[in-house]
Amino acid sequence: MKLKTLITMLSILLVLTGCSAAAGDLNNSELADNDRIMPIYLELENTVVTDQSIPLKFTIKNNTQNVYSYGLMFTLFQYDGAKWVEVEMKDDFAFIMIAYNLNPGETIEGGLDLSFFYNELPKGFYRYEKKMMSEHGDVLAFGEFNIE
């Protein structure tokens, strides 16, 4: 009887573990009040953009005990009503491959000049993603905003 109970409990635990989502699979509205405890938390200063020539300021905080590396590279997506679609940059644009470290507990500030990387973007819902790399696994830090 004890073996059957143990097997049942382990099965339930496996099912519940499989139901959890990775941080990159959640959107900000799903994170609600717990978003600031994400391993790597990216916060946009403004979630509404009306002038694309003004840089979109952000902060990234490392909430882990691990050092994460990141570069200048990022990805911008637009939500088309069903899925996120990558937004193409201006022609012939490339990033230099440089790595910066984000130490445990450290916060950095940055800015995204949409007009530098992109032609005029249409109104819509966008997602800014930055890949953070560590020997313990990679994390996507992201923030979402509207262009009006």
Residue 61's CATH number: 2.60.40.2550
Query: Would 20 be classed as within a structural domain?
Result: no
pLDDT at 20: 35
Mean pLDDT per segment of 10 residues, for the chain of length 148 residues? 43 37 42 60 96 96 96 97 96 88 97 95 97 94 97
Query: Would 15 be classed as within a structural domain?
Result: no
How much of the chain, in percent, has pLDDT values that exceed 90?
Answer: 69
pLDDT at 146: 98
pLDDT at 8: 40
DSSP class of residue 93? -
In this predicted model, what pLDDT tens digit does every residue of 63-90 receive, in sequence order?
999 999 999 999 999 999 999 999 999 9
Query: Would 33 be classed as within a structural domain?
Result: yes
Query: Would 72 be classed as within a structural domain?
Result: yes
CB 143 within 8 A of CB 98: no
Query: Would 3 be classed as within a structural domain?
Result: no
Query: Would 71 be classed as within a structural domain?
Result: yes
pTM: 0.73
Total count of residues recorded for the chain: 148
Domain count of the fold of the chain? 1
Nearest to 39 by CA among 109, 120, 110, 132: 132
CB 139 within 8 A of CB 54: no
* 105: containing domain: 25-147
Query: Would 11 be classed as within a structural domain?
Result: no
Residue carrying structure tokens 């032609």:
119
Instruction: Compute φ and ψ for 126, nearest 5 degrees.
Output: -125, 160
